[in-house]
Structure formats: C-alpha cells, structure tokens
Amino acid sequence: MHVHLDVIGGIAGDMFAAAILDAFPEYRSELFDAIGLLDLDGVDCQHENHSDHGLTGSRFVVACDEGGHHHGHHGHRHRSFGEIRSWLQNTSLPPDTCARAVAIFTLLAEAEAHVHGVDPETVTFHEVGAWDSIVDIVAAAFLIGRLGLVSWSVSPLPLGRGRVSCAHGVLPVPVPAVVRLLQGFSVADDGVEGERVTPTGAAILRYLDPGEDRAAGRLAREGTGFGMRRLRGLPNIVRCLVIEEAERAGNGQIATIQFDLDDQTSEDLAVGLDHLRGLDGVYEVFQSALTGKKGRIVLQISILAEPMAVERVVDACFFETTTLGVRWHLSRRKILDRSLYMVRQEDGPPLTVKIADRPLQGATAKTDIDGVAHMAGMAVRTERRRRGEDAGLRRWTGAGHGDGR
C-alpha cells in the first residue's frame, strides 16, 4: 500500500491525524483508547466532520485545560525535550507508539538545537510543548504504526509568507526549525500568507521520509484533514490518497522480516515458527543455519509477509521466539498470472495443477507434490500386492530398474 499526502493548505500534526482518520475511520476508537493511556486530565479529543470552500472532510481537535495537573506536573506550555521524552516513556502507551513519538520529538529537538546553537538535550519546547501538540504527535505516531509498513510520498510543500509571533519573538515564515526539517523537500510558493507547515507537521514528514512520486495502482481510499485556520481563497487541507499498488503491473511490494537466534531449542522454535507461519498476512517462513560469533551455529529466520501485517508479525516474533531484535525491509516483486485446476482421483485427494503464464514461454503446468506423492504411493502398494500374489511379499527395492530407483 502507498499513501500520498497532497498538501494543499499546509500540514500540521492535527491535519495529518485528521486526514488519516478520514481515510481510515475504523482506527478512531483504537486511537482514542491509546490517547486515553496518557491519562491526561483536562484533555478532550474529538474527530469531527468539517467543511470549507465547498469541500468536506474532518478535523482532529484536542481541547486542553493547560492550567490543569497531570501526575503532579503543572500543565505549563514550556516543557523540555528530556521532560517530554521521560514522560512518554513512563506512560502506558504501546512501546512502538511511544518509540515513534519520541523519534518525532527527537527530530524536533535536533532541529531546534541546530537553530539555537545548543545541545538537543537542553532544548525547551514552547508551543510544541503544549498538551495539544504532544497529543497530535502521539496520534500521528499511533496512526503511522497502525498503517503498517507502507510507502509514502508528498506533494511540493507550500512555504507560506509573512511573520509569526512565538515565544522567541517575531520570526519569518517558515520558522527556522521548519526550514531545517524540510531540507531536501520540494517546496512551492502559491502567494498565500501565513504559516503553512508547522514544526509538528515538518517533524512528522521528516520522520516519514516520503518520496515525491505517487505509486501507480488502484485508488482505494481518500481522506481530507482540515486545519484550524481559514485561509484566504484556499481550503486549509491536507489530502490523503491511499493507493493499492498493482502487483501484476510489476510494482507490487512484499515485506521481508528477519532475525537471528542462537539460544532457543529446536523443539520450541519449531512450534513458534509454525505459529508465525499461520498468521494472517504471512506468506512463508524460512530458516537457514549460519556460523556466528565464537563459532556458534546461528539460525537466521526470514518471513515473507504483506506490508500492512509487519507490525503485527514483528510483535508475534518477539512473543514466539527469544530474539531481542528484528529487522525488515520492503522489496518489489512481480507476480505471474496463474490459475488452479483440480483433477479428481477415484481414491485419494484431488490433484492440484497450477497453470502459470510465463513471458517468452507461454503457459506451464505443475502438479502439487502431495497429490503426486499419493499417486506414487498407490502405485507402489499396487505393485507390492501384485508381487506378493506372484512370488510372496518382498521388500520393495526397485529391482529390475536400471537406475535403482
């Protein structure tokens, strides 16, 4: 699956979350459950329908009482990177959501540190340190993980014009930290005033590391996320286009998940790999023996899976095996047109014949080995019975066949 972000009005954390939720409304309850794990007093989240400039979509609204308290911390807007990171790591968030949220904040801290000439650990967030911005980033982190291993692309980003007031005073648009985060991205100037890409939006994009080209395939879904500001003569939206890539066109994707083991018994591992092989979205599980450090025999496990199933399969790998780390990547694949034919037998399972259409060769056929093995077994038993009738039962040795088979 491929997700293209069409940045029309701009992009911020709430606009990103709204666009994804508009395309995948089935994730709404799961997201709100995850946000509930933050246990924030005085914070209320809503995903609501919205329309502007003749377009309809949705907004992700986080209403906060910044004067409230949470776990003994005052709801102030100025929070250090270290404070936010420590707080996130001590919440009940799923580990993968927490790790993504921390990674996005780390990108922000590094950008701010570069701009102000300080160490990232000493960076203090002002507007981004408010609870609504923190929730926006947590929501983005959750939704990115929920989508699984997908490819991303983004349209040229509107730079905006003018100046914006913030804790550091009056700054040019885009603000310096955003300029730092967007290095390497294609940008455009449509002449519309105002801040178009916020620091949270820029950090999310930098984390996604999207390409510029949309994938070819079938347009499966779309979502429109509105921002809180109203722009003059332009809808303030980011549009999410979900494209299912056409495998038969040669540009399908498959995920390869790998990890190594040297401390799990073969019996236990065999059961775990069978469980992994039976997961939805898993095509096949392989293992191969390698020589690792200290001359140890290491088993390398490789799993082929659907890209959207990666997060779920990785969690299962940690549950079913003793591995402490898993790596994965996307690969292109091309699948030939194929069809199955069933040939019934009088005694035993039907023969399954797979017909494939190969370039430069035409159609080829291959019979499933289980059916062939059954037919071979039937032939052997028939021959044994015949020989038993003629010359008594003898062990089948293949005698009389010149090749000994």
Domain ranges of the chain: 2-245, 253-333, 338-391
How would residue 77 be classed by pLDDT, with cut points 50, 70 and 90? low
User: Average of pLDDT values for 72-99?
Assistant: 76
Residues 6+ apart with CB under 8 A from 319: none
CATH number of 253-333: 3.30.70.1380
User: Average of pLDDT values for 186-207?
Assistant: 90
pTM score above 0.85: no
Angle at 109 between CA 212 and CA 174, to 5 degrees: 55
What pLDDT is recorded for position 168? 59
**If residue 378 lies in a helix (H) or strand (E), which one and from where to where?**
helix 369-391
**DSSP letter at 243?**
E
Write the CA distances from 349 to 214, 232, 340, 371, 381, integer angstroms. Answer: 46, 70, 15, 7, 17
Express each pLDDT in 93-105 by its tens digit: 888 889 999 999 8
Neighbours of 321 (CB within 10 A): 21
Lowest mean pLDDT across 50-64, 67-81, 249-263: 67-81
Establish whether the linkage from the previous residue to 235 is cis, with ω within 30° of 0: no
User: Average of pLDDT values for 192-212?
Assistant: 89
Lay out the sheet containing 282-291: strands in order across. Answer: 282-291, 297-305, 252-261, 327-333
What pLDDT is recorded for position 247? 46
User: Average of pLDDT values for 222-236?
Assistant: 90
